[in-house]
Structure 1
Amino acid sequence: MPKTVLITGCSSGFGEACVKRFAQAGWNVVATMRRPEVDPGLASLPGVMVIRLDVQDDSSIEDAVRSAIAKFGTLDVVVNNAGFGLFGIFEATSREKICEQFDVNLFGVMNVVRATLPHFRQKRSGLFINVSSGAGVFGLPMISLYNASKFALEGFSESLSYELAALGIGVKIIEPGGVLDTRFTSRSGTELSQISTPSEYANFVTATGKIFDGLRHARGAATSEGVAEVIFTAATDGKEQLRYVATDDIRPLIAKRRESSEEEYMAFMRERMSPNLKSIP
């Protein structure tokens, strides 16, 4: 019998690429998205069911899980991929936007986990794969709220892995860096355009923009398909490994965070991430 995976956030990017990768391997795939009417053609793939699931809407989650089990008989893997990133100065970001950031990136994952755990617990097997970020490992300027949501997701996922191991249920974390062929950057830009930043931050924002431009140029050949391949590997390798770094661009930063002293790490990051305000007229 083919295995079944439920994936959130499948209208583009990592989610869309994951659906194609799992379907190619003969899995049954429950491709979920907030607006199924914008399905990029996934419903035409063999073994793929496209259905509405909004991680901020408990009833849509419950309906999707129930429909998936009714159609395919079981769920084996859940990929929590849905998410977005706020970009901008913390002081200028509204409480409503902060709550939305956590609702989607953290509480949304918890909502999906809570809805699917009874099924996994009943059959004493299953795997959650939570898509985090390099921003769940190291901090960067202008994304403090995205950082906070992903740091929290990492802590939740690690702690949950200990709770569920005794039940035969696994938890894994995927850590991608910047991938240019997704809608993530365009949405972050849209969110930033809606923020009114105090004038005192103007030079800082301009200088930090140059840092992020440099990071974008350094991303190389990272693609959604490459991240999807790492997610598929995590789903099928049978290992108890918790974290998977999904793109090469963030490996030096992660190595510094995890393999050096606090002093060495902070010196390394301040040299690269502190904006040069003197260069701004």
Structure 2
Amino acid sequence: MKTVLITGASSGYGRETALHFHSQGWNVVASMRTPRAGVLPESDRLHVVELDVTEPDTITAAFEAAGAVDVIVNNAGIPSIGVFEGTPMARVREVFETNTFGVMAVTQAVLPQFRERGSGVIVNVTSSVVLGHMPLTAVYKASKMAIEGFTASLALELAPFGVRAKTVEPGACLTTNFAANAADGGPLDELVPAPYAPWAKRAMNDFTAQDLFTKESDVAETVWRTVHDTTGQLRFPAGPDALHLAQAR
């Protein structure tokens, strides 16, 4: 029985991906920064562990609890929507600590077992913001573009050992906690300097008025397909809006 470890599995894409792999007969290690009862169904093939990607001790403990794994899905992330001029550098560093350095830390922790075994798949969940020019996402996009570059190079390093690294690029999903927290829990107008306000409002209205959006299931199914892909494809858009952006690009 194969085992997948998924970070950020308490909600959204991570939770849906955990459920999808479990439904396919896999052993699932669902990691969360703050484990909560009732988030996922009880099963002898589904194990919840604590893992904060910014805390090295919890990464080590999670892998000790998980044992051998076949796939890592680096899904944990934090949002950031706002004008860069109004974004404190402390917030920029916080976003990179989770979205960039956290992914690298979890990946580095699993590499020895993958390399020694001669197999394994690393799926890094980024975002469709890497596929187009989107306003109000400068910091978030930078953190995800870094992982796109990281994964592309990593894939070449790991290929001689039979280990694969890929990215999944989800589109915009309005039904996740991630989306609800995108403005740090506060109205966007509190995060945008006054001179930018009219433009920012128009940009947000244009975004919410778009015709295509992604569902959590789109991402879970794409992660599943990515894990099983053997064509050498590196990047996998997930959701109709992400696919549209990728085709336009």
TM-score, with length taken from structure 2: 0.94
Report the Cα offset of residue 205 of structure 1.
1.6
CA contact (8 A) 1:86 1:191 kept: no
Partner of 1:264: none
Partner of 2:212: 219
- Secondary structure of 1:165's partner? helix
CA contact (8 A) 2:34 2:50 kept: yes
- Secondary structure of 2:209's partner? helix
Return the alpha-carbon distance in structure 1 between the equivalents of residues 37 and 95 of structure 2. 22
Relative distance call for 1:39 and 1:139 in structure 2 (3 A) is farther
- Secondary structure of 1:245's partner? strand
Return the alpha-carbon distance in structure 1 between the equivalents of residues 185 and 51 of structure 2. 22
Q: For residue 168 of structure 1, what is the amino acid of its counterpart?
A: G
CA contact (8 A) 2:59 2:106 kept: yes
Partner of 1:210: 205
Stretch deviating more after TM superposition (55-64 or 178-187): 178-187
Runs of 4+ that moved beyond 4 A? none
The gaps in structure 2 that reach 5 residues or longer are none
Partner of 2:20: 21
Partner of 2:8: 9
- Secondary structure of 1:36's partner? coil
- Secondary structure of 2:73's partner? strand
Report the Cα offset of residue 191 of structure 1.
4.8
Report the Cα offset of residue 240 of structure 1.
2.1
* From 195, 203, 212, the counterpart of 1:200: 195
Partner of 2:31: 32
* From 129, 136, 139, the counterpart of 2:123: 129
Q: Are 1:53 and 2:45 an aligned pair?
A: no
Return the alpha-carbon distance in structure 2 between the equivalents of residues 251 and 27 of structure 1. 27
Q: Per chain length, whose mean CA-contact separation is higher, i.e. which structure has more relative contact order (CA < 8 Å, sep 6+)?
A: 2
Return the alpha-carbon distance in structure 1 between the equivalents of residues 238 and 204 of structure 2. 24
Report the Cα offset of residue 189 of structure 1.
3.0
Report the Cα offset of residue 251 of structure 1.
2.4
Stretch deviating more after TM superposition (4-13 or 186-195): 186-195
* From 242, 245, 250, the counterpart of 2:242: 250
Cα RMSD, aligned residues only: 1.6
Report the Cα offset of residue 173 of structure 1.
0.8
Partner of 1:77: 71
Q: For residue 204 of structure 1, what is the amino acid of its counterpart?
A: W
Return the alpha-carbon distance in structure 1 between the equivalents of residues 40 and 128 of structure 2. 30
* From 128, 146, 162, the counterpart of 1:168: 162
Determine what percentage of the aligned residue pairs are the same residue.
38
CA contact (8 A) 1:5 1:75 kept: yes
How many residues align structurally?
A: 248
Please list the CA deviations of residues 187-216 of structure 1 after superposition, one character each: whole Å capped at 9, or x if unmatched.
11335548543221121122212212223x
CA contact (8 A) 1:136 1:151 kept: yes
Please list the CA deviations of residues 91-132 of structure 1 after superposition, one character each: whole Å capped at 9, or x if unmatched.
101111100111111111000001111111111211100111
- Secondary structure of 1:139's partner? coil
CA contact (8 A) 1:9 1:34 kept: yes
Return the alpha-carbon distance in structure 2 between the equivalents of residues 104 and 86 of structure 1. 12
Structure possessing the higher radius of gyration over alpha carbons? 1
Return the alpha-carbon distance in structure 1 between the equivalents of residues 43 and 217 of structure 2. 17
Stretch deviating more after TM superposition (190-199 or 82-91): 190-199
Return the alpha-carbon distance in structure 1 between the equivalents of residues 169 and 185 of structure 2. 23
Partner of 2:82: 88
The gaps in structure 1 that reach 5 residues or longer are 258-281
Return the alpha-carbon distance in structure 1 between the equivalents of residues 208 and 72 of structure 2. 34
Q: Are 1:178 and 2:177 an aligned pair?
A: no
Return the alpha-carbon distance in structure 2 between the equivalents of residues 114 and 63 of structure 1. 14
- Secondary structure of 2:196's partner? helix
Stretch deviating more after TM superposition (142-151 or 175-184): 175-184
1:154-165 pair list within 5 angstroms: 154-165=148-159
The structure where helix makes up a greater share of residues is 1
